[in-house]
Chain A
Amino acid sequence: MSLFWLVIRQLAEIEAMAASKKVITREEWEKKLNDVKIRKEDMNKLVMNFLVTEGYVEVAEKFRMESGTEPDIDLATITDRMAVKKAVQSGNVEDAIEKVNDLNPEILDTNPQLFFHLQQQRLIELIRNGKVEEALEFAQEELAPRGEENQSFLEELERTVALLAFEDVSNCPVGELLDISQRLKTASEVNAAILTSQSHEKDPKLPSLLKMLLWAQNQLDEKAAYPRINDLSSAILEDPTV
């Protein structure tokens, strides 16, 4: 990313000249910022990348029409991916599995860990719904063979089956498996796998750019006082405290 490297270069320059902490005024800083040329198209691509990766298909469609930015993936596949994600989030794991298989049968066939986590989620949903007998049968038929193939799967399976041993699952050591966060975790794992299968990055670029910004500011803090961005949502430059 060109912006990132510009910041790094500035950092290096400052490092070279500053023995003591240098103070950079707002005017100087803004002048420097104005010198940085960022192409509109690149910004648009970043936005599109975020929308596509996160699955905001309608926004992406609108954004494409308004900005003329072409997404690097067929937008229709986003709808499918979101449907899978939504199914997991709402506890319809079996439905999600079938949808993934329709999308691309290789994903679950070549990704045993993801397949196991989906099956585990299915078991969790059965337990949540109080279908004890069905849960036991499912664990035995579907999950136990995977546990035989892989030690870490076996441990996870044991932890999940432990849910059945507690009267009050909300208050037991493995209770977090029943949390919504567990569904979200599984859903995001599926989402990432589908993206990878479509040769797409599994994370949007924007958050990592923000991380780089924070990192660069922290580095800079040691060398200089400058107008800092503290609130990422507003990106307001705050005057240096000298």
Chain B
Amino acid sequence: MPATPPSADLILRRLASSDTEIKLKAIREVKNQIIGNRTKKLSYIKLGAVPALASALAEADAASASGSSLIVQSAAALGSFACGVDAGVRAVLDAGAYSHLIRLLSAADNKVVDAAARSLRMIYQSKLAPKYDFFKEQDKHFLLSLLESGNENLTGLGTSIVIHSCETSDEQKILCSDGALEKLISLLDGSLSQRDSSLESVATILKNNPEVVSKFVDLQNGRSLSSVIELTKDRYPRTRLLACSCLICVKNSSFAYLQDVGIKSKLIYILLELLDDSGQVGDDASFAFSSLVAEKEDLQRLAFEANAIDKFYDHLQNRALHPKRLEGIFLALAHLCSKLECCRSMFVSLQVVNILLDALTHADANVRTAACICLKSVSRSVKILSAGYFMNERIMAPLIRLLSDPSTSVQVAALGAIGNIVVDFTPQRSTFTQCGGIKELVQLTKSMDASLRLNAVCVLKNTVFHADKMCKEGIFMELTVSSLASLICDPEPSVQEQALTLMRNLVDGSMDCVEYAFAGGGIILDAVGRQLQKFSKFGIGIQAMYLLVNIASGNETHKDAIMQLLFSQAENVSHSFFSRFLRSSDNILRTAAVWIIVNLTSLASPGAIDRIVKLHNVGIVSQIKRMANDPCMDVKLRAKQALGQIATLGDS
């Protein structure tokens, strides 16, 4: 037993030997060295063994006995290199072994076929495997022939190809319409491994595709669906899980399917029970649970009644959980608590948050992300926020630290949680500031990553909503006028919209607050004006209009500035953005636009008469008159109010 592999030269020379005996022995030795042994795989890859094996495979003659052995051994070795090691998959593909393995699937010798199929299946377990083209007639037929071959290794390869390569809805449709789905269903009656891989491929084809699901449901008068339902009772946990996954795809495609409470609760109970499996099935069960209850209040209620939260909590008590398991459980809790107050109360009363706090500092980024998402979901509760349950240093401090996490997804998730918690229902908003949260947030508004900027601005927007003067002042100083202006002109429209809303919340309130809009020599209003000229989406127009509404509620200078912004290019007013907004199809946008006029013509304002004259001259008054019978009640109300003020002042 050589504990250290022979030298590179020697191995490569023997693998390439012209003596078949020596060559075969060398290949078999490499194979036996690397199977199950990751370290050896990597070192042989470095030695360059993979190309040598690939050429042995390519050169051997499948029709001769010695050639057949060479192929079986080298295919097995190549398959092992591709098993569980990405570098191995890459090496095998780079060495050109793929096309030879495919060719050997049609060999006459069954041993050769089996070896090639196993090897290819290993390759298809990896994300790096080449994408299979289902649209190519020839490839499609080949796949179908694999699925109906009756050879377990070939059907196994066929299902692996489907699971790996079927991604788009067109691919799902073609597999459904060309008989692959039926063939996969017929494998449900096959051996244990055929059944499991068939279920997994069926789920792949059904996922997020209502059209395919509706075909599947009607297949064989519903017998296919029934047999999948039957398999949820199977004695093998993995089979039960996969059958549930298929049914979840069906359930998620339309409200019309699997409406019966019996089957819905059955799915919940099975998945909760599968959590007890200590292996991968248990890990995957919580993810399947998430996709079952996501966005579905009825299922969340059933899960609540099935004591799902207790069950997850029990599992969390085990301190040595695998990261995947922790992630899955926190995401499942997040989905459970996304709508129902009873779930959130249960979460709080079980004090799950104590365990969640540990997860916020877990070494695995996915666990940290999941914990934040869970916290975000639970803090949707006004009741919990009002009780100030989360706004304390114990929770805020680690959350704020996550704002500078190396992983962007953790940062985004932490922003999401903070964004909910800072919505003020308590006097303790200052905890957030005291923990240094504002500084971190402002830093993130300057990130290169658009999702971070977006979420950071969003949290700031929530923080200043109805906040006191001191809070606003602190944020405004930290953020600075110039970066506010550049956020309003951010390349991402979604960031622009949030920045405008932040500005709108800032200037909302006392007269002093309106001054924020004029700081820095008016660069903010300039930025707003530029965005309005471009007007790329309703949301931006609406937020900008409401910002102007708030500013127009200010003093004479403020109102005049708005007049200047709206009507500076007087000759062309009917084509101006403002005139267009008054005619917009969006009710809220029209409402906001008229509201500005209401504020500009306020009866208490000394300069109102001059502004009315101007509004007359540019044709806005006649436009408002036409809106007095607007189908939208809000618009109608504001338009009448504006016209009333204009008439009163005009008469005086």
Contact = CB atoms under 8 A, between A and B. Distances in A.
B83 A142 contact: no
A94 B1 contact: yes
A167 to B, nearest CB: 26
Contacts of A138: 1, 3
A222 interface: no
B118 A104 contact: yes
A109 B35 contact: yes
B38 A101 contact: no
Nearest to A118: B36
Report which residue of B35, B76, B122, B192 has the largest number of chain A beta carbons within 10 angstroms of its beta carbon: B35
B191 A109 contact: no
Contacts of B192: 196, 199
B152 interface: yes
Interface in B364-416: none
Contacts of A30: none
Contacts of B623: none
A111 B1 CA distance: 22
B32 A109 contact: no
Contact of A105 (B31, B191, B193): B31
A196 B236 CA distance: 12
A56 interface: no
A171 interface: no
Given A98-B32, A142-B37, A149-B38, A106 B3 contact: no
Report which residue of A98, A115, A199 has the largest number of chain B beta carbons within 10 angstroms of its beta carbon: A199
Given A138-B1, A141-B3, A199-B193, A108 B36 contact: yes
Contact of B3 (A108, A115, A137): A137
A120 to B, nearest CB: 12
A97 B4 CA distance: 18
B79 interface: yes
Contact of B32 (A101, A111, A134, A196): A101
B539 interface: no
Nearest to B41: A109
Interface string A11-50: 0000000000000000000000000000000000000000
Interface string A122-164: 0000000000001001100110010001000000000000000
Interface string B15-58: 00000000000001001100111110000000000000000000
A112 interface: yes
A105 B118 contact: yes
A234 interface: no
A233 interface: no
A101 B73 CA distance: 10
Contact of B84 (A104, A109, A141): A109
Interface residues of B, number: 24
A101 B3 contact: no
Contact of B76 (A105, A115, A134, A196): A105
B39 A108 contact: no
B70 to A, nearest CB: 14
B32 A106 contact: no
A241 interface: no
Contacts of A112: 36
Interface in B315-330: none
Contacts of A110: 83-84
B525 to A, nearest CB: 61
Given A101-B31, A199-B192, A109 B3 contact: no
Contact of B36 (A98, A109, A141, A196): A109
Interface string B82-109: 0110000000000000000000000000
B3 A142 contact: yes
Interface size bucket, A side?
A: 20 to 34
Interface string A186-197: 000000000010
Given A142-B3, A199-B193, A105 B35 contact: yes
B37 A101 contact: no
B549 to A, nearest CB: 62
Interface string B175-215: 00000000000000001111000000000000000000000
A106 B3 CA distance: 23
A173 to B, nearest CB: 25
Contacts of A115: 35-37
Contacts of B505: none
Contacts of A106: 79, 83, 118, 122
A238 to B, nearest CB: 33
Contacts of B39: 145
Contacts of B35: 97, 101, 105, 108-109, 115
B394 to A, nearest CB: 31
A157 to B, nearest CB: 15
Contact of A199 (B37, B84, B152): B152
A231 B192 CA distance: 35
A101 B301 CA distance: 50
Nearest to A106: B118
A141 B4 contact: yes
A105 B1 contact: no
A124 to B, nearest CB: 15
Interface string A217-237: 000000000000000000000
A97 B83 contact: no
A199 B118 contact: no
A137 B2 CA distance: 10
Report which residue of A105, A115, A134, A199 has the largest number of chain B beta carbons within 10 angstroms of its beta carbon: A105
Contacts of B37: 115, 142, 145
A109 B80 contact: yes
B79 A105 contact: yes
A242 to B, nearest CB: 40
B74 to A, nearest CB: 11
A145 B76 CA distance: 23
A9 B319 CA distance: 44
Given A97-B32, A98-B32, A199-B192, A109 B83 contact: yes
Contacts of B118: 104-106
A90 B411 CA distance: 58
Nearest to B72: A102
Nearest to B190: A199
B466 to A, nearest CB: 52
Nearest to A110: B83
11 contacts: A101-B76, A105-B80, A105-B118, A106-B118, A109-B36, A110-B84, A115-B36, A134-B3, A138-B1, A145-B37, A196-B192
Given A138-B1, A145-B38, 8 more contacts: A97-B35, A104-B118, A105-B31, A105-B77, A105-B80, A106-B79, A110-B84, A134-B1
Q: Top 9 closest A-B pairs, CB basis? A: A199-B191, A115-B36, A105-B76, A108-B36, A199-B192, A145-B39, A109-B83, A141-B3, A137-B3
Interface of B: 1, 3-4, 28, 31-32, 35-39, 76-77, 79-80, 83-84, 118, 122, 152, 191-194
